[in-house]
Amino acid sequence: MKSIRNIKVRKRKSGQFEIRYMKNNRQHSIYGSTIFSCRQKYAKVIEHTKEQPKSKTMLFITWYEKYISIYKKSCLKKNTLKNLNGLFRLHILPYIAQRPLKRITSQDIQEIINRMSKIPRQATITYTQLNACLEQAYKLNLISHNPCYAVIINKDKGGKGKALTKEQEEILLTYLKKHNPPIKILIFLYLATGMRRSELLNIEQRDLDFKNNEIVVRGEKTKNSYRTIQVKSQVLRLFPDKEKPFKEWTPSKVNHTFKTITKKLHFNGITIHSLRHTFATRCIEQGIDMVVVQKWLGHASITMTIDTYTHIEKDFKQQSANKLEYDFIP
C-alpha cells in the first residue's frame, strides 16, 4: 500500500483539496481545506477499513457443519447422527453446499425434493431435516426467512404395513431352526417385541429387567419411543450376555441379511420392518387391547395405532363372524 505522503492530492477550482480513492469498485472522494487535513481524513478511512475487514458470505456447508456440531451432536446417538449426516451428504449437500446461505431459494429446495419423487419417504425425511436446519438459521437471524416455507411436498403417509401371514411366519421359523443363521435371534426378538430395527440393535444389558420381565427401549423417534415392554422370561433369555448384545450388527447388515432369507423363501414385499407389523397383527388377533399395543409399539397416539392396524382388527373380526352358523335363518 502506498504511504499516506505519496497519495495524490489535487486542488479544486474552489480552493479545496481532494483525494480520490476506490472502494467496492466505486470512486470516492475526501475533501479538506489543506493538504494535511485531507491526508488526515484519508488516513482515518484507511484505518477504519483495517478494523472492519470485509465480512465473508456464509456458505450453506459452513452453517450445516455448525448446526450439526452445536445443535445435534450432543443430543443424538452415534448411529442416528451418522444417518442424519448421510442424508445431508447424499441428498442435499451435492446441490447447495457451496451456495451462500442467504441466497438459497425455495426453488432450490423444491428441486431437491422433486429429484426424490420415486422415494417419497426419504423425500419427507429430507425436507423435515433441511427445514429444521434452516429454521434454526432463521431464528439466529442468519437468513431473513426460511425458504422451506414455500416448498410443496407430498408427505409420505406410509402404508398400512405388510405383516407376515401365519403360513409365512411358520415357514420363516422352520427355516431359522433348520439353518440356524446368525440373524436368527434378532428375528425372534423382532417378532416377540415389535421393536424397530435400530431400537433392538441399541439395547444394552442395563435395559433388561429379568426380575420384572421387562425391556426398557430408549427410542428417539417420538417422545413415546422411550418405553417399557413387558415380555415373558424366555424372551429375555434370548439376549446374549454382553454389555451390548448386538454390537456387531448394523441396520444395513440386518436389512441385507434378512433380504437374503426372504428371497430364498420367495416372500414378496417383506422387509425387516414387516416383523414389527407381524408382532402388532398377532397382538390384535389375540385380543390384546389397542392401548396396550400402542404403548408396546411406542406410537405417539392411539390414533396412529388405530389408523395403521384397524384393517387387521376388522379382518380378524370378520373371520370370527364367518365361523358363526345361523341355522334358524332359512
> Are 29 and 172 part of one and the same domain?
no
CATH number at residue 99: 1.10.150.130
Residue 269 has φ and ψ, to the nearest 5°, of 75, 15
Give first-to-last CA distance, the chain, whole Å. Answer: 109
Which neighbouring-strand residues pair with 227?
Answer: 217
Q: What is the pTM of this model?
A: 0.57
Provide the mean pLDDT of the chain.
85
Which neighbouring-strand residues pair with 23?
Answer: 26
Q: What is the pLDDT of residue 308?
A: 65
> Are 221 and 301 part of one and the same domain?
yes
Q: Is the model's pLDDT at 196 over the cut of 80?
A: yes
DSSP state of 89: I
Q: What is the pLDDT of residue 41?
A: 83
> Grid coordinates in use for 10?
489535487
Q: Which of the four pLDDT bands, split at 50, 70 and 90, describes residue 310?
A: low
> Grid coordinates in use for 75?
443430543
Tell me which residue range forms the domain holding 33: 4-51
The DSSP annotation for 159-201 comes to ---PPPPHHHHHHHHHHHHHH--TTHHHHHHHHHH---HHHHH
Q: What's the rounded Cα separation, in Å, for the pair 274 and 159? A: 11
> Are 145 and 206 part of one and the same domain?
no
| Residue at which a domain ends, from 150, 181, 211 | 150
Q: Which of the four pLDDT bands, split at 50, 70 and 90, describes residue 135?
A: very high
Torsion region of 213: left, alpha or beta (phi above 0 gives left; psi -120 to 50 gives alpha): left
> Are 286 and 248 part of one and the same domain?
yes
CB 147 within 8 A of CB 105: yes
> Are 229 and 304 part of one and the same domain?
yes
> Are 40 and 67 part of one and the same domain?
no
